[in-house]
Structure 1
């Protein structure tokens, strides 16, 4: 019987969920989703193109911004096939291996983005605390090493998850809560003991999102302390204004991510709609808004973008 279950499991599929009860208007719902994806991909691609082609933007802040744009592009590309597949063709099925691959990329890219936001907070702290040594502290080789460490951390922490999920038997209803795969969502429908996965999932959340958000908070405490010590009011305001875009990016990323994690762990029996909408906000809004926020708040970047499109 166990062998039979394993055989069925290896060829099994999961059923993804879009917006329950709205199947008749999926085609109309797909229009804003398509617009969000197009704006996200075009916006982040333009940011990357401008930073790469303009030598005056080869500064630490903009290099970190390009890293953020790459992770946002990755998150958009990782979720496009299943979300639009449901809305366009009502194709809810996803194979087990494809589901594991998708959750690997979604989680690893999310943790890499968390690391990038932490590095951007450190960038702002150095720029305000020690502006004369800013370029000598955050050199391109050092930034590349920071980026490599963060990528390795994200990949290494998520790498065990597919193997941990593969050892389970899935004899319950195979309907997932979202139109894409997440570890905590797949884990919940297993009929095996999920204690190890639950503990490890909590560990990686605390060691990445928890630690990064705490260090970002400490960075801003130090930034505020440094800014308040500046004698000139105008200089103080100018220094704090350079942090506005990053603060928006932090709130856009961490708020829905932490909320979704809390709902998955402690929201049993609650309505699925808040969980579904928060899941869409978590993956769709940051890649959409980050290039807009930075383009609006960075006069130099905005001028370069206008120049490209005017030409």
Structure 2
């Protein structure tokens, strides 16, 4: 019995002996050790692979925190880059329809004064349009033009440009009559301080996008629409509108730089005298007039200027003089 009890205990404690007796040839005695070995090899392989990947792939800061991007959004255009842009723009101006180097520098200097964030409104799409957008790269630049097709093509070719078409109802040959009507209504529809969106003044542009009237413009350039033949729209509406926007300015600096190109032409010169005023004329550079117009309180004045220096007699022959040499 002792011998049998011993055998019974051996059977219960060593079940693998059954497999051995079944002709197993080694059985599963080493299986647990091989499994642990495989587990450790796999673990260290995976750990090594992850460590290698993390150490060789570079990491980058979030785009919003990238130092170069944050600097680009807060710093003005460097003087050297601005000078380079002006240089190459001036040497490419080989015809009389483009601005001279002195004219470009005059406008650029005013943009630098309100840098890094100027509100720049431009009447007319011209050879210099991309230059203005680049020089005011941290500010807001808005283009207005009479030609809907050109506006559409310009926006398609240059995504990010803000441009709108404006319908002008005036003609150069009508200027004497329009000037007389405007002066007669200077205390009413054509007053110097108002929201032109709700005005019926014939020289006021009231079909621009609504938000344009609310922006405190720092610089306004009148280089359009066309004004070199009798049936052209002329720039009297653009100059009148620029004068009202400057005097109605709320927010930002109190004064607005207003530039009028082709200042030697009768319509441009007389309109500027009436609505921008000779006392506000800072300088003339070639055929560019530069005015600095201060904001005005409502009902603080009965007119645009302290003294009106122009007369409608100056406009009697504005249509046909030197058409071939006039700018657009």
Q: Structure 1 length normalisation: TM-score?
A: 0.23
Q: Structure 2 length normalisation: TM-score?
A: 0.23
Whose helix proportion is higher, 1 or 2? Answer: 1
Rg larger in 1 or in 2?
A: 2
Whose strand proportion is higher, 1 or 2? Answer: 2
Structure with more relative contact order (C-alpha pairs < 8 Å, separation 6 or more): 1
